[in-house]
Structure 1
Amino acid sequence: MNKEMKVRAEHWYQEAKQKASAYYETLYKQFVDKTYVSFLTEDILLWKKDHVREHSIIQFVKRRKKTPDSNDYYQYMKWLHYTGKLDDYLDRSVSYIYMRDLGKALDDPHTQIRIQRLIRDIKKYLLTPGTASNREKPDFINFASFYRWAQKEKVENATIWVMNKLKRVSAHIPKEMDAEQAQRKLMKIIIGVVLHVMEEMDDEVSPEERAERLDAAIRLGYSYGLTYPFIDDLLDSDVLSKEEKEQYSEMIRISLLTGSVPDLEEWTGTNLEMVQYIHTELREAFEFIRDYQRAETQATFLEQSYVFFQSQDQDRVKDLSNGSYTNEDIYLPIIIKSSSSRLIVRSVISEPMDEGFENRTFAYGIYNQLADDFADMFDDLRDGAVTPYTYYLTYRHQRPDLINPFELYWAVISNLIRNVYHSDAKTREVILDRAINGLKRYKKRVGPGKYNEIMDIFTSSIPEFNRLIQQMVEKAEDVDFFDKLLRDQLLTVMKNERLEKEEFINTINTAQTEINRLLKISKSAQASLLKEPLTDAANYSLAGGGKRIRPVMAWVMAVKEYGLRSSAIAPLLRSLEYMHTASLIFDDLPTQDNAATRRGHATLHEVYNSATAELTGLFLIQKATQEQSSLDAFDPKSVLALMQYSSQKAGEMCMGQAMDLESKGKELTLDELNTICFYKTGIAFEASLIMPAILASVEEKEIATLKKFAYHAGIAFQIKDDLLDLQGDMQLLGKPTGKDVQNNNSTFVTVLGADGAAQAMWEHYCYAVDALKEMPRNSAFLKHILNYIIHRDQ
């Protein structure tokens, strides 16, 4: 960093520090004088009239019995509506978001109109029949609902882009960091930026402009949000060495001072591969934000970002073993970073600020920061992090000059209510709701005993005020918030998804091991030498690897869903893989796709010859039929039905391949392509699900639902194959890319284009998700199979 940069950097930070110092002095005076106690006592006594009600013992027991746990999302929403509390619940929740995330004043008439409009939209969604029918998780916490929203807003491309980005980021979160928290934070930032942009649009904005601005908001949200896992969290972790952190931090400073990300030159640490990925992603994100902005906001963005980073860095290098930090050392960086983090968003989206926005946002930040630090104090203490709470806990006995952060928290609240928001009743309501709710949640999390110990530490000098606070924590009602419920739901969903995915992978591995053990065709002792080449050729193709998706699906449905014995369905599994392998052998022939490699190995006709390959395909089909006829553990009528079904589907697959060959060199319509795709791919998916269902004698309604799921999952699978042929990695695919273009094949990509094909894939994904909702059983496996289909790299 040259001298000119250092001067500019110092100037930016000193300006921010002066402003923070003035705010700190205001808060410090209220803390020392204890004026906040009398002011807040008045405010809380006004507030409690709507939140503390006298109940008889019978009423209290009855009320507590009927109030469902908010973790039970659907029951809680029903209860709020039934008791008439839903409107107030949504009002305080949405108002809080407008105040915290959008920096709005709640006494502004225009803001109130927007708040009420959003409340109506949320309420309409929550109370729409059918939205609460699936108790697995809220509908809006899944890919399908996100994509349906994108379709409505005409931002499908941006949504697909960000989902792909999130997938790759998740794969690159180092194991030493909390991947779930990183993903949650990144998604929260994206939603926050989208909310900012939506708030700036009124009904006069055309649908085209609305879509364009939302598209940019999604990309901006991701680009800005990426800094949290890959700058803040990474530098807070122990992933990088001290020297690597210094290199990395210097590169970030230069980027913010020059407006250009420097090249990644010689890296002196052991994390080069990870840093290369992060450098590429952050450079792309930085340049997108920079290029999106108006010229007059670029300088503001760079300055605020630098100030934020520098304040974070000053906090990061503090050492809890150093007992000589002043109150200013502790609190000024917090004031700076908590305010600038919100001001940055406004400059990111390049939107104007209304009068008072900057003052409100600057003053508000420390309120949230102190609340977050309180909730995390023991985790931070364990990690050796310096926060107002960890430092006070460590040195309160030796340092009587230290500010009690819990008291300062209430001084901040008093200042916000009285001086920043001018005692607006709605603002007072929301801020005190949030504060009391935070303490209620904390008490529930740590338990009454631990909570009381903590209160004894932090409230010893304000006993009377503390008694009032604790009365509110014990007795106040109707102070919970929708965003907290969503946060809890999201974390629960992410945790469950992770556990389900682990089980899914274990199930796949178990099934694949079982299936691979079954597939090899043994040579009969009486077999003639003339027959042996076919057996060898068949085993060569079967040993080529592959994901075994079809027999795996059949194994899971049969064993896990229907409770059939694994040994009993072994012939079914063999038949499915024999049929599938036969179809691949025929596909690869010179007269058809003319493929030289399959699954990373030479194709059968390349190793032997075309005639042997054709005969081997026929041999495997006959072996598949033989296997099905040996399902002697099941009712003969069911086995006969299965064989009839299998024969019909095999014939349809041949028809699909014939249609595919006939279509070479021709431009197909989407309907024609869907038909060919279903016959070629969808039928195989369907058979893998339906054949176990036939053996288990399930009801026809469930079979119809499975067919619907298989239809859309199969087409989604084929579209992904077409996209991988265009964009995939040959090393991962195990076969050359670009074969469709070379063979002049009509594919979803050639018919719809890459973007259109991706949209069609997600559309079929959504339809498959809808089919799963109709299933009488909750199949996590099928859900993860579907996610695998669209997220796979091979």
Structure 2
Amino acid sequence: MNEKLKDQAEAYRQAEQRAAQYFTALFAQVTDKSYVPTLTEDIRVWKKRHIRPLSWLSLFSRSRKKPDTRDYHRYIQWLNYSGELDDYLDRSVSYMYMRDLGKSLDSLDTRTRIQRMAADIKNKLVNNASKNGEDQQDSMSLAGLYRWAQKEGIETAMIWAIDKLKSVSAHIPKEMNAEQAQRKLIKIMIGVIMHVIEEMDDTTPPEERSRRLDEAFRLGYSYGLTYPFIDDLLDSGVLTDQEKEQFTHMLRTSLLTGSVPELGDWAENNKDIIQFVHSELRNAYEFIKAYQRPERLPAFFEQSYVFFHSQELDRVKDLSHTAYTNEELYIPIILKSSSSRSIVRSVISAEADEDFDNRTFFYGIYNQLADDFADMFDDMQDDAVTPYTYYLKYHDRRPDLINPYELYWTVICHLIHHVYHSDPRTCEVILDRAINGLKRCKKRIGAEKYNEVMEVLGAGNPEFNRLVQYMADKADDVDFFDKLLRDQIVTLLQNNRKEKEKFSDTIEQVRLQINQFLPIPLDEGIPQMKEPLIEAANYSLEGAGKRIRPVLTWVMGVNEYGLQAAEIVPLLRSLEYMHTASLIFDDLPSQDNASTRRGRPTLHQVHNVATAELTGLFLIQKAIEEQSSLVRFNPVTVLDLIRYSAQKTGDMCMGQAMDLQSRGKTLTLEQLNTICFYKTGIAFEASLIMPAILAQVKEPEMEALKKFAYHAGIAFQIKDDLLDTEGNLLLLGKPTGKDVENNNSTFVSILGLEGARKEMWEHYCQAMETLQEVPRDTAFLKHVLNYLISRDR
């Protein structure tokens, strides 16, 4: 380990020396302000494209007000309508090629690839924008992503990644920003995938392309974990100082020895999260390490150590410390910002590329200073040390401190004229990005606060700053797609969390209400012969049921169709009575022979088979009695509902009979789908259609709901089959492995685990796509569907 430590220390010393040389060159340009006249001329040329003289014609042509970028779809439509979408996508993709892929824009091959990618994005955006509002198939939805994965032949990788992202989301501590943590992880995954795609071309065989994309998903996730579960976790207040030291020691040891040490003792407060983080990071580390070519492995460890050590030096700074030198402030961020992207090529074990390494090295601090500028107010609130927070706090007392805002423009000048050799397209894109960053900051924090801080940051070059601020006020056409996408992803994650919380609250509140009126009363004077059946029925009803079906009916009936909650209580009872009756029959020795249900012994175990059979029949009759008591509705409508209910009950019986007859036989997928629909899908359909009947919903919507229920029901059953194979008895509340024991054909036995997961996602996508045909808010149904495929019981 000592020898390894020497090697890593030497690698860091060399990297640090290079960063110091770069900083010295930048410092000289800041001191002599040589960047000012050069950039002033660049900006004067640049403004011709971005500040147009006002005319009656221009006022008329822009009469349609530019929508807020937060309205994602309308903004894309406006860009297309105004003829600005092509330029918007070209500069956006060009910037990603420079920042993420380390490319030079003066390369003909790079320009061709940029144009191709921009055209592909435009095609998708325009096709989506041509659809109406809520009916758009959002490419960022799970269904949209899975459809893309199918085209690329990487469904397994997509399913794996979705499950991993859900797991990370569930384990992010409340003290951290969950949406930003997920966004960073997703961003890194996309970045790695972009690198892998860039390594391929049109001659790459489809099988090879699918294999490499599959690996890219897993490598991207493995590397991306460092952001939420190292960087963000150590920056948060989750861990104590001692725990941070312990965690950091473990990370350093991993890089020096090549293997992750055991976790060891940990404080109880954070033990669960640390156990998860340790397990995920260890698996990720081993996966990346195994992927490396032997000759590239030393470079991977060296780059990883430089990245880790520079981050650590930067992280431990204390804003109360008054004597940090400029070198201490800037050299670690030059290293961490450049190595964070250069390491990606090492992660994917790509060939060494000196041009990429150079451009990435010089580019990193530009991106870091732009990010620190955007985050400076949050950083000040958190007492975090960045060049901006430190300068704003100590500039009055420390005239030796470099103004980070001046350094930022110095870096821009250096990139344009020394790294990218005064390439006009590069100059255009970098200035677009810089002005966009100022505009976004001013909009986010407000003009007053923005102007106040710019008085300090712009004081060193007032004339140049006035020019820049004029551009920030007046210039147009500087928006970027990745920023729009970033905002959209964060908004989607935030909205999804809020909707999920609302969904969970609604489920629980309605479930509790339903539980209160489900028990069948033992009224005074009731014949004694009825008491045993009622007690048996109530025993089955009292179990910890999810009540998905009556909850669905309540939400659709009350929230979507406007029915009165009190008026549909009999319908809710009837649905749960019918469902519980079906479970009692399913559990009988002559059928599934189950010993537990809803976490308790099955009814025939507590009493006997005869009592169970009679109780099931009793509950079916009670369901019909409840339906006939829907007296607040039109009698003809109620008769239609009872007729529909009777038909579907008969269909469910046929499904169960088909299931019993299939025992011991190998079924085709089509046969299994049919049985599954009759056994499960029909119950979902009834939960949606019965309140729709009472609300007299039109037939096209009914058909869409039936189609949704068909696919949702099959997805639900496939998840049940997966849980029967892989599930946890304590969570499920019933034994696992019953299908194998009973020699039943299941989606898993026919398709295998991987095939069953793909089939579940196919039905998930079809169900989601069907919801586009429903002319009302379907957020709840979407969350129901997400719950059905992600549940653990």
**SS at 2:396 equivalent:** coil
Structure 1 Cα separation of the partners of residues 720 and 44 of structure 2: 65
* 1:74–1:135 CA contact under 8 A, matched in 2: no
Q: Which amino acid aligns with 1:709?
A: F
* 2:704–2:773 CA contact under 8 A, matched in 1: yes
**SS at 2:114 equivalent:** helix
Superposition pairs of residues 442-521 of structure 1, within 5 angstroms? 442-521=441-520
Equivalent residue, structure 2, for 1:280: 279
Superposition pairs of residues 401-480 of structure 1, within 5 angstroms? 401-480=400-479
CA pair 452-96 structure 1, distance change in 2 beyond 3 A: same
Q: CA RMSD in A?
A: 1.4
* Deviation of the 1:355 alpha carbon: 4.3
Structure 1 Cα separation of the partners of residues 128 and 387 of structure 2: 48
Normalising to structure 2: TM-score of the pair? Answer: 0.98
Normalising to structure 1: TM-score of the pair? Answer: 0.98
Structure 2 Cα separation of the partners of residues 273 and 783 of structure 1: 30
* 1:73–1:138 CA contact under 8 A, matched in 2: no
Structure 1 Cα separation of the partners of residues 36 and 606 of structure 2: 86
* Deviation of the 1:135 alpha carbon: 3.7
Establish whether residue 120 from structure 1 lines up as the match of residue 124 from structure 2: no
**Higher mean Cα deviation, 68-77 or 483-492?**
68-77
Structure 1 Cα separation of the partners of residues 175 and 68 of structure 2: 33
Q: Which amino acid aligns with 2:728?
A: D
Superposition pairs of residues 314-393 of structure 1, within 5 angstroms? 314-393=313-392
CA pair 132-492 structure 1, distance change in 2 beyond 3 A: farther
Structure 1 Cα separation of the partners of residues 162 and 84 of structure 2: 35
**Higher mean Cα deviation, 551-560 or 111-120?**
111-120
Structure 1 Cα separation of the partners of residues 366 and 567 of structure 2: 63
Q: Which amino acid aligns with 2:735?
A: P
Cα-to-partner distance string for 1:440-481 (whole Å, 9 max, x where unaligned): 111111122111111111011101111110111111111101
Runs of at least 5 residues in structure 2 that lack an aligned partner in the other structure: none
**Higher mean Cα deviation, 350-359 or 95-104?**
350-359
Equivalent residue, structure 2, for 1:671: 670
Cα-to-partner distance string for 1:499-550 (whole Å, 9 max, x where unaligned): 1112111111121111001100012433322221110000000001211000
Structure 1 Cα separation of the partners of residues 580 and 282 of structure 2: 45
Structure 1 Cα separation of the partners of residues 263 and 361 of structure 2: 35
* Deviation of the 1:58 alpha carbon: 8.5
Cα-to-partner distance string for 1:676-712 (whole Å, 9 max, x where unaligned): 0000000000000000000000101110110011000
Structure 2 Cα separation of the partners of residues 763 and 708 of structure 1: 14
Superposition pairs of residues 548-587 of structure 1, within 5 angstroms? 548-587=547-586
Cα-to-partner distance string for 1:563-589 (whole Å, 9 max, x where unaligned): 111110000000000000000000000
CA pair 129-348 structure 1, distance change in 2 beyond 3 A: closer
* 1:716–1:761 CA contact under 8 A, matched in 2: yes
CA pair 136-407 structure 1, distance change in 2 beyond 3 A: farther
Cα-to-partner distance string for 1:400-456 (whole Å, 9 max, x where unaligned): 000000000000000000000000011111100000011011111112211111111
Runs of at least 5 residues in structure 1 that lack an aligned partner in the other structure: none
Equivalent residue, structure 1, for 2:72: 73
**SS at 1:530 equivalent:** helix
Q: Percent identity?
A: 65
Establish whether residue 744 from structure 1 lines up as the match of residue 743 from structure 2: yes
Equivalent residue, structure 2, for 1:266: 265
**Higher mean Cα deviation, 270-279 or 599-608?**
270-279
Cα-to-partner distance string for 1:26-68 (whole Å, 9 max, x where unaligned): 1111100100111111111111111111114884587365222
**SS at 1:288 equivalent:** helix
Structure 1 Cα separation of the partners of residues 462 and 79 of structure 2: 35
Structure 2 Cα separation of the partners of residues 130 and 443 of structure 1: 29
**SS at 2:53 equivalent:** coil
Cα-to-partner distance string for 1:166-209 (whole Å, 9 max, x where unaligned): 11111111111111111111111111111111111111111100
Equivalent residue, structure 1, for 2:157: 158
CA pair 352-64 structure 1, distance change in 2 beyond 3 A: farther
**Higher mean Cα deviation, 256-265 or 195-204?**
256-265
* Deviation of the 1:227 alpha carbon: 1.0
Equivalent residue, structure 2, for 1:8: 7
* 2:181–2:227 CA contact under 8 A, matched in 1: yes
**SS at 1:782 equivalent:** helix
Superposition pairs of residues 303-314 of structure 1, within 5 angstroms? 303-314=302-313
* Deviation of the 1:5 alpha carbon: 4.0
**SS at 2:736 equivalent:** coil
Structure 1 Cα separation of the partners of residues 611 and 529 of structure 2: 12
* 1:363–1:420 CA contact under 8 A, matched in 2: yes
CA pair 55-21 structure 1, distance change in 2 beyond 3 A: same
Q: Which amino acid aligns with 1:629?
A: S
Structure 2 Cα separation of the partners of residues 230 and 593 of structure 1: 45
Structure 2 Cα separation of the partners of residues 709 and 129 of structure 1: 22
Q: Which amino acid aligns with 1:496?
A: N
Structure 2 Cα separation of the partners of residues 268 and 485 of structure 1: 41
Q: How many residues align?
A: 793
**Higher mean Cα deviation, 752-761 or 9-18?**
9-18
* Deviation of the 1:489 alpha carbon: 1.1
Equivalent residue, structure 1, for 2:618: 619
Q: Which amino acid aligns with 1:103?
A: G
Structure 2 Cα separation of the partners of residues 176 and 68 of structure 1: 34
Structure 1 Cα separation of the partners of residues 399 and 439 of structure 2: 29
Superposition pairs of residues 19-98 of structure 1, within 5 angstroms? 19-56=18-55, 59-60=58-59, 63=62, 65-98=64-97
Cα-to-partner distance string for 1:766-788 (whole Å, 9 max, x where unaligned): 00111111110022110110111
* Deviation of the 1:379 alpha carbon: 0.7
* Deviation of the 1:134 alpha carbon: 3.4
Structure 1 Cα separation of the partners of residues 439 and 596 of structure 2: 62
Establish whether residue 243 from structure 1 lines up as the match of residue 254 from structure 2: no
